[in-house]
Structure 1
Amino acid sequence: MSQYTDSAKELLEHIGGKENIAAVTHCATRMRFVLNDPSKANKEKIEAIKLVKGTFTQAGQFQVIIGNEVATFYNEFTKMAGVQETTKDDAKVAAKQNMNFLQRLIAHLADIFTPLIPALVVGGLILGFRNVIGDIKMLEDGTKSLIEVSQFWAGAHAFLWLIGEAIFHFLPVGITWAVARKMGTTPILGIVLGITLVSPQLLNAYGVAGAEEIPVWDFGFAQIDMIGYQAQVIPAILAGFVLAYLERWLRKVVPNSISMIVVPFFALVPTVLIAHTVLGPIGWQIGSFISDVVYSGLTSAFGWIFAAIFGFAYAPLVITGLHHMTNAIDLQLMSELGGTNLWPMIALSNIAQGSAVLSMIYINRKNEEEKQVSVPATISCYLGVTEPAMFGINLKYGFPFLAAMLGSMAAAVISVASGVMANSIGVGGLPGILSIQPQHMLTFAIAMLVAIVVPFLLTIVFSKTNMGRNAFKRFGAR
């Protein structure tokens, strides 16, 4: 008998039995169930299982936090329960039965941006490192940067831009590939479509405003502007979906004997034409409108109110999955303004959640069993991954989650009121300071300190009173 057998039996019983499981898979730390009837899952009894660190529902999936041993436990569970293993993609498809229209829309955005996150993180770190060596006057009495006194670092600074440009300027290639991958169509066609949006023969998107004359494709009876869409998010998403739906339709109507020739040609060529005549300009205008509204709201006299609301509400957005929408807004702000004032608040929210868990480690310092969850959760949270902290500790007790939200709110107000801007996204938590523009790093460091101290102290205060618990219950969290 395996050490996980008893826990697997308990989980199967409290999940509603084998007949209630439509699909089950796992990720790095969690079991992901698609349930035929989610109401049959007894959350209280599941969370009482010794191996379980917490539960939550997201994107139509009932997720059970197990920890690093989830892969071994998953194998034992599926064998004991007699259920078939399911891929993550199959589980996502099955989960749609439990999702409304908005949830499906958010899930689509998540599916597009999630595969891009590793590249965005790398790009953020690289641009942050270039900030440090290229823009901070740290040498010769604060008059010169590292690249101004060292040829090696000057060369490294120039070389690293090769990667940074590939990730952020050519982002549409990744987006159109991700859309094709998600829709089950031909990924290479998505890549080719993305390249046509950022081709060197096009006028760079960053040079449009200052261009004296925009080159055109002249067809005699009509002309099309040769404008690139470097770093543009919405035009790439729209073009990617048009290509995917057109390819899927063609595969239904074109005979298999000629589909290899006909489908790629009649899917790609019309999509590229539509992308440069309709989708690109419209998507650009939509993106510009969204970025203008967000930036104007954050830099207005009432920007601190927006910051307070966003800082307080971001963690609950993570629970619902709505936070994936901010990726598109951040990237749009970067393309339009050369930076984003939204991402700093996200990094501060990560830190605040980790600080609340750190406080719980202090409060429950004699609880060795809980430390197995709380210590790794704090570390991952400070590095930008909040789910273990939120679902494993903060939501379990309730009041640490509220303390983190309040600390995040205070830090966000400081960040926005001081005009803090990030050059890139993807680097959250404490390393997030590397993505901040050099002139704002000191202010952001102060906001980080607030995000560490305020949640830590509030969690201790709430633990000694009923104030935090009662306030959290009024928000309907538990």
Structure 2
Amino acid sequence: MSKYTDPAKDLLERIGGKENVATVTHCATRMRFVLNDPKKANVEEIEAMKLVKGTFTQVGQFQVIIGNEVSSFYNEFVKYADLDSSSKEEANVAAKQNMNFLQRMIAHLADIFTPLIPALVVGGLILGFRNVIGDIKMLEDGTKSLIEVSQFWAGVHSFLWLIGEAVFHFLPVGITWAITKKMGTSQILGIVLGITLVSPQLLNAYGVAGAEEIPVWDFGFAQIEMIGYQAQVIPAILAGLVLAFLERKLRDIVPNAISMIVVPFFALIPAVLIAHTVLGPIGWNIGSFVSNVVYSGLTSSFGWLFAAIFGFAYAPLVITGLHHMTNAIDLQLMSELGGTNLWPMIALSNIAQGSAVLAMIYINRKNEEEKQVSIPAAVSCYLGVTEPAIFGINLKYGFPFLAAMIGSMTAAVISVGSNVMANSIGVGGLPGILSIQPQHMGMFAVAMAAAIVVPFILTIVFAKTGVSKVTFNKKAA
């Protein structure tokens, strides 16, 4: 008998029994249930379990925070409940039954970008490191950078661009692959389509503005501009969706005997043609418009107000799942402006949530049982994983969550007011400073200090003054 047997039995009973579980899977810290009737789950009794750090509902899934031991608990749970293990893809599909239209759209967007995040984080760290050794004049009385005095570091700087270019310039390949993977169509066709958007044969997207003449494919009766879409997000999304749509429709009407030949041919060629004649230019203009609006808003005289609203509201967006939209905006800003001033605020919000938990550790320093939950939550939050902190501690008490929102707002105003820019998406916590452009690291450090100090102090003040009756809807969908 495992130490998880009794907790598994209790959770199954309080979740509504085996018949109420459509699918169940797990991630790094959470059990993720799709329930046939979410109302049957007794949330109060589940959260009262010693093993459970908190619960929340997001994108149609009822999620129970277990912590680092979730994998072992999951194995015991499915064994005891006599349930089949489900993949995350199966759970996501099943979860659609509990979503409205907006939630489905956000879930689709998350499914596209989530597989790309590890590469984007690595790419961001690499770009940050290249900037440190290549752009900061740290040697010979501040007149030369490291690569100017060391052949070794010059070689490292050049070599690392191989990876940085692969991640960001060829990003459309990853996007079109992710779309075909999500839509259940031929992933290799998605990769080929993405390559046609960034082929060396095309005029590089970064060189279009300064080009004296744009090359064309000349068909006699028509010409198509040979423009690449390096680092472009929206053209890749539109092209990938068209390819997936064409392939799925062709599968329905083409006989199986010839589908292997006909379907790829009549899906890929029209998709590439439409991408370069219609979707590419339209997507480019849409992306430029979105990035210009966001950047103009953040750098205008009212940028502080935009920053204050975003910094204050980002954590509640995490609860609803709407924060996944920011990935596309960040990537578009990077392609248009060579960096993003939106992502630093996200990293600061995560730090602020961790700082509120740090204050709760201090307040409850004599409570050993509480520290078993709060200490791992604070550490994971400072490293960019906020769910244990938000749902296990801050929303449980209410006032730490509010303190963290205010601290995030303060730090965001400092960041935007100082024009802080990140190279790319990075680790959304304390290590996030490595993704900040070198000339802005100093002010980002000041913003980080605010994100640490303000929530910590406010949490203690709120606790002592009784501001603990603030309630938040933990089941925001």
Q: What amino acid maps onto 1:11 in structure 2?
A: L
Q: Which moved more, 1:3-12 or 1:216-225?
A: 3-12
Deviation, 1:100, is: 0.5
* Alignment correspondent of 1:380: 380
Aligned: 1:343 with 2:343: yes
Deviation, 1:86, is: 1.3
Distance 2:78 2:431 in 1: 38
**2:140 aligned counterpart, secondary structure:** coil
Aligned: 1:237 with 2:244: no
After the TM superposition, which residues 239-388 of structure 1 pair with which residues of structure 2 at under 5 Å, given as runs? 239-388=239-388
Deviations 1:44-94 (A, max 9, x none): 110001111110011100000111221221122122222222111111111
CA RMSD between the two structures? 1.1
**2:33 aligned counterpart, secondary structure:** strand
* Alignment correspondent of 2:168: 168
Deviation, 1:466, is: 2.0
**1:232 aligned counterpart, secondary structure:** coil
Distance 1:216 1:367 in 2: 70
After the TM superposition, which residues 36-115 of structure 1 pair with which residues of structure 2 at under 5 Å, given as runs? 36-115=36-115
**1:22 aligned counterpart, secondary structure:** strand
> CA contact under 8 A between 2:288 and 2:336: conserved in structure 1?
yes
Distance 1:171 1:223 in 2: 26
Deviation, 1:431, is: 1.3
Distance 2:332 2:12 in 1: 44
Distance 1:128 1:169 in 2: 16
Deviations 1:179-201 (A, max 9, x none): 00000111110000000000001
Q: What amino acid maps onto 1:435 in structure 2?
A: S
Deviations 1:194-246 (A, max 9, x none): 00000001010011111111100000000001000000000001110110111
**1:185 aligned counterpart, secondary structure:** coil
Q: What amino acid maps onto 1:14 in structure 2?
A: R
Deviation, 1:369, is: 2.1
* Alignment correspondent of 2:30: 30
Distance 1:69 1:339 in 2: 37
Deviation, 1:165, is: 0.6
Q: Give the TM-score normalised by structure 1.
A: 0.98
**1:267 aligned counterpart, secondary structure:** helix
> CA contact under 8 A between 2:56 and 2:474: conserved in structure 1?
no
Distance 2:381 2:311 in 1: 16
**2:96 aligned counterpart, secondary structure:** helix
Deviation, 1:446, is: 0.5
Aligned: 1:180 with 2:202: no
Deviation, 1:476, is: 5.1
Q: Which moved more, 1:227-236 or 1:368-377?
A: 368-377
**1:128 aligned counterpart, secondary structure:** helix
Deviation, 1:477, is: 5.7
Distance 2:414 2:102 in 1: 32
Would you say how many aligned residue pairs link Structure 1 and Structure 2?
475
* Alignment correspondent of 1:135: 135
* Alignment correspondent of 1:398: 398
**1:334 aligned counterpart, secondary structure:** helix
Q: What amino acid maps onto 1:212 in structure 2?
A: E
Query: Runs in 1 of length 4+ with deviation above 6 angstroms?
Result: none
Q: What amino acid maps onto 1:252 in structure 2?
A: D
> CA contact under 8 A between 1:112 and 1:175: conserved in structure 2?
yes
**1:319 aligned counterpart, secondary structure:** helix
**1:212 aligned counterpart, secondary structure:** coil
Deviation, 1:426, is: 2.4
> CA contact under 8 A between 1:415 and 1:447: conserved in structure 2?
yes
Aligned: 1:189 with 2:189: yes
Distance 2:106 2:163 in 1: 29
* Alignment correspondent of 1:430: 430
Q: What amino acid maps onto 1:277 in structure 2?
A: T
Distance 2:293 2:61 in 1: 33
Deviations 1:335-368 (A, max 9, x none): 1111111011011111111111111111111222
After the TM superposition, which residues 179-218 of structure 1 pair with which residues of structure 2 at under 5 Å, given as runs? 179-218=179-218
Deviation, 1:456, is: 0.7
> CA contact under 8 A between 1:398 and 1:477: conserved in structure 2?
no
Q: What amino acid maps onto 1:122 in structure 2?
A: V
Instruction: Give ranges in structure 1 of 5+ residues lacking alignment.
Output: none
Identity, in percent, stands at: 85
Q: What amino acid maps onto 1:114 in structure 2?
A: T
Q: What amino acid maps onto 1:248 in structure 2?
A: R
* Alignment correspondent of 2:153: 153
Q: What amino acid maps onto 1:290 in structure 2?
A: V
Deviation, 1:252, is: 1.0
**1:323 aligned counterpart, secondary structure:** helix
> CA contact under 8 A between 1:351 and 1:430: conserved in structure 2?
yes
* Alignment correspondent of 1:126: 126
Distance 2:427 2:203 in 1: 30
Q: What amino acid maps onto 1:348 in structure 2?
A: L
Q: Which moved more, 1:284-293 or 1:378-387?
A: 378-387
Deviation, 1:370, is: 2.3
Q: Which moved more, 1:96-105 or 1:458-467?
A: 458-467
